[in-house]
Structures are given as C-alpha cells and as structure tokens.
Amino acid sequence: MRGTIHVDVLRCVKCKRCVIACATEYSKSNTLLEAFEKAQNGDEIKPRITIGLIGELGVPIQCRHCENPQCVAVCPTGALKRLGKEGPVVVTQKLCIGCKHCQVVCHFGVPQFTESGKVYKCDLCIERLDKDFLPACVEACPTGALEFVIYEDKLRKVKVTTTIDRVTT
C-alpha cells in the first residue's frame, strides 16, 4: 500500500485547521490545550504542513513522499529513510546531525530545522496509520481539500479529472 495526501486547491477555505491538528499531533501531549499552554512557555511546537496564499487561493503543502527521495539519497547518517518499499519517508531525529543537505536538495523546501538543529518533516502520521486512523490534517479538514488516497487510486483520479478538464474546456 502506498498512500499519499491529495490536495484539492479549490476546496481549501484557508481555515488552517490542518495546521493546528498537525502541530497538536506532533506535540508530546497530543491534546490541543496542553500544546497551547506549552507553546506559550516557549516549547517548540511545529506544524509539518503549511498553507501558502497564492492570490486568493490557499495552497496546503507538506512532504510529497517522492518516489525517488533526494533527501534520503543525500542524508549522510540515515536519519531520513523510506519505511519499507512503498511507505512514507520518515525522520529519526536522534540520528540527525543538522548538516541541512536535505533542505538544500528538496524540490519543495519541505525539511525544516528546530532551534536545536534537528530536522522535522511530515511522516504521514505513521503512528496513526498503524492504528488505522487517517493522518491528523486529513481528519481535521472540514471541506475535503485534503484527502488520503492510495497511490493507484490517486493516479486514476488524476487521470479522470484531467480528462474531464480537457473535455469541458
């Protein structure tokens, strides 16, 4: 199974619930209130998804979990690696030495660094997927702009939508 997050820009209403859900999921306590309190005390609570504004459109962007990840190819310590053959690209923060190779070679500028110099990025909520939950951002999205799809289904969907676009325009 190879899942990925499908982004539908026209459905995004820029509510940033995905950003809040993501930051909460990756905080130690996993509850919004405690994460908020800790953030006020200066703890590092970082969301792995960002919403950029392009004109009036909001575009959510997170790690694409590429088929040939350059970040994994250049990582000197193996802190970034692909889980299994078709799994997501995950981070082992203990192994990261903060050389920033991954940030320089990433096409999407996804890997970010904490103040202590460790990399963090989206890992498709691998712990949640193991328990058969959807990734936190997908679950929080109220409009369905973010959708968790299996790779083959996504390809079919892209094919269908682009064909419809071509027929209708």
Residues near other proteins (CB under 8 A) are: 6-10, 42-44, 50, 52, 54-55, 57, 59, 61, 64, 70, 73-74, 76-77, 97-101, 103-113, 115-118, 158, 161
**Based on CB atoms, which residue is closest to other proteins, 127 or 152?**
152
Cβ(107)–Cβ(76) below 8 Å: no
Of 97, 75, 19, the residue nearest 52 (C-alpha): 19
Rounded least distance, CB 22 to other proteins, Å:
15
Closer by beta carbon to other proteins, 24 or else 111: 111
Q: Closest approach of Cβ 124 to other proteins, in Å?
A: 15
Closer to other proteins by Cβ: residue 89 or 101: 101
Q: Could you tell me if 63 and 30 are in contact, meaning their C-beta atoms sit under 8 angstroms apart?
A: no
Which residues make Cβ contacts (< 8 Å) with residue 102, sequence separation at least 6? 70, 71, 74, 75, 80, 111, 119
